[in-house]
Amino acid sequence: MSFFSRNRAELDELGIDPQRLPPGQYHTTRFPVLQAGSVPEVDLATWDFSVDGLVTTERRWGWDDIMAMPTTSETVDIHCVTKWTKFDTTWTGIPTRALWEAAEPSPDATHVMVHAYHGYTANLPIADFLSDTSMFAHTYEGEPLDLEHGYPLRLVVPHLYFWKSVKWVRGFTVMAEDAPGFWERNGYHMYGDPFSEQRYWGD
């Protein structure tokens, strides 16, 4: 029996529905650290978050502004394109819809490009960006995010591969058409559905 078969068989013993594990994935209790480039230096005194593009009013918030916003908590499964899945992770942060509505986007908008430190970007359709479980998270399992996991703020869009859940996020641009972000320009799928195994171009 292969590693993946054994790993999937363990789910029944753990009382977890195997249907929650996407094809080609293995479950883990660890939270591996992966990123493009180095971990940034973050100074909350100068940190800000901006929304621009097809919006009525371009917006910019400081850290205190973000922390004053209403929050939500969600417990979700997360799936990395490198094939690990972690079940029942709990995140707290600001619903993406709150920042979206504050900028009054154009009705012509179809996608967003999320921006982070070091010029990292990821593209998302609006429907996914605004899903009920999508948020800009500042807390993981009741504690502020570790720097290596995206402190002070990261996007969480749990139903897509986790490269779309941008770490060290600084804002987003509202767009009238899709465009590739960092990993999408380097061979990753434009959408990234784990249950369809949309890892790379052509999947």
pLDDT tens digits along 135-150: 999 999 999 999 999 9
**Do 151 and 33 meet the contact criterion of CB atoms below 8 Å apart?**
no
Tell me how many domains the chain contains: 1
Quick check: is 133 in a domain? yes
Quick check: is 11 in a domain? no
Confidence check: pLDDT of 1 > 70: no
* Alpha-carbon gap, residue 24 to 33, rounded angstroms: 20
Confidence check: pLDDT of 2 > 80: no
pLDDT tens digits along 105-133: 999 999 999 999 999 999 999 999 999 99
CATH number at residue 126: 3.90.420.10
Quick check: is 115 in a domain? yes
Q: How many CB atoms lie within 10 A of CB 64?
A: 9
Range of the domain at 107: 42-76+87-196
